[in-house]
Amino acid sequence: MGQKQLVWGIYVLLLLAGITGAVLLSLGMGEIPIRIGDLPRILSDKESMEYGVLAYIRIPRTLLGLTIGGSLSLAGAILQGIYRNPLVEPYTLGISGGASLGVTFAIVAGLHLINILFLPLAGFIGAFATIFLVYTLSLGRGGLSVNRMLLIGVMISFIASSLMMFLMSVTSTDNIHGIVFWIMGSLNESNNTMITVMIALSVCCLIVSYLFVMPLNALRLGEEKARHLGFDANSVIRILFIVTSLLTGACIAVAGIIGFVGLVIPHIVRRWVGTDYRILLVSSFLSGSIFLILCDVMARTIISPNELPIGVITGIVGGVAFILLLSNTRRKESKMDE
């Protein structure tokens, strides 16, 4: 057991080193390059242009990349364990569809013109309305059914997408542009309150999820066997569903829809550190943070001075990585059959 914990400690240290490198890269790269050695001088000179770039653009984006990437990856790792399905991700349950519908309604109704904070608020309300609906419809005589929840989430996602298309078809071209840009995702959020809330929420949910590492390990064997081991599977699933929904709803409300982070990163991490949730949760969180920060750097620099939506980068990189992952798995299975 001591040797296993030592290996886990090495994994965490490597990931922390990776986060440090990703953060420094994010702070230094951009239209105005900043050398790492100059950071202390720039941060002490509040009148300089470089200080404004760091304080109001790059540091907030980096913090959001840390928290949102980690939150989405953590939510994906938990949900894949609950459903025992590697293709489940935070957006599978219709949360993204509900949030998108809420933001679309806010833009079409002109609420964002009253106060820009109405957009994340509408996304958060839409996400949680979907969560409540999925949870309520999934309750049956035998309690909560995870399979029914998955199917209902997919169907609600289709319904929300259709309603969103309807609203887009009856609104102006300017509103459509705003809706599409939000859907593609962005870390360009400068509201310090929202960033602080997102950081606190992600850390709290990571801590709460660690209270359920043993039940999550038991759920890998199935709900029935988890009950035989003394765990209340329904209560565990209910609490973890709330935690992951809270994380996902907050991420969507702040940054829009950023796909593939919660699907691909837990896959890769599980192959690297194993399936024990005592190391899988923190490794997924840290790996998701590294991935999203690097994707944001690419989004800011690949066609500089213009900027790509970060959802474009995560979709391309994550999709290619997932295909390569599946191809590698298939080759290994073929060799084993031979």
pLDDT tens, residue by residue, 269-287? 988 898 889 999 999 999 9
pLDDT band of 1, cuts 50, 70, 90: low
Residue 282 region, left (φ>0) first, then alpha (ψ -120 to 50), else beta?
alpha
Q: Is the pLDDT of residue 34 over 70?
A: yes
Task: For residue range 163-184, list pLDDT tens digits in order.
Answer: 988 988 888 888 888 788 777 8
Instruction: Report d(CA 106, CA 184) in Å as an integer.
Output: 17
Please state the pTM of the whole predicted model.
Answer: 0.88
Task: For residue range 285-319, list pLDDT tens digits in order.
Answer: 999 999 999 999 998 888 877 788 888 888 888 88
pLDDT score, position 209 = 93
Give the Å distances, CA to CA, from 243 to 56, 133, 315.
30, 16, 25
Domain residue limits at 21 = 2-337
Amino acid at 289: S
Token pair 């991490």 is found at 269
Least confident window among 54-63, 130-139, 207-216:
130-139
Average pLDDT over residues 195-215: 91
CA-CA-CA-CA torsion for 117, 238, 81, 63, nearest 10 degrees?
20
How long is the chain? 338
Q: What is the CATH number of the domain that holds 197?
A: 1.10.3470.10
Q: Is the pLDDT of residue 148 over 90?
A: no
Q: Which two tokens stand for residue 74?
A: 């953590």
Q: What is the DSSP string of 88-126?
A: --TTTTSHHHHHHHHHHHHHHHTHHHH-TTHHHHHHHHH
Average pLDDT over residues 35-61: 85
How many structural domains comprise the chain?
Answer: 1
pLDDT band of 224, cuts 50, 70, 90: confident
Contacting residues for 149 by C-beta, under 8 A, at least 6 apart: 93, 134, 135, 138, 241
The angle at the Cα of 41, spanning 36 to 193, to the nearest 5 degrees, equals 85
Give the Å distances, CA to CA, from 103 to 31, 131, 168, 206, 228.
30, 16, 11, 27, 44
